[in-house]
Amino acid sequence: GEDVEQSLFLSVREGDSSVINCTYTDSSSTYLYWYKQEPGAGLQLLTYIFSNMDMKQDQRLTVLLNKKDKHLSLRIADTQTGDSAIYFCAQQWVTSYGKLTFGQGTILTVHP
Residues that bind other proteins (CB under 8 A): 4, 31, 33, 35, 40-45, 48, 88, 90, 92, 94, 96-105
CB of 62 to other proteins, least distance (A): 18
CB of 49 to other proteins, least distance (A): 11
Other Cβ atoms within 10 Å of 61 Cβ, number: 14
8 Å CB contact between 24 and 48: no
CB of 84 to other proteins, least distance (A): 17
Q: Which is nearer to other proteins, 84 or 101 (CB)?
A: 101
Cβ-based burial of 23 (10 A; exposed 0-12, middle 13-18, buried ≥19): middle
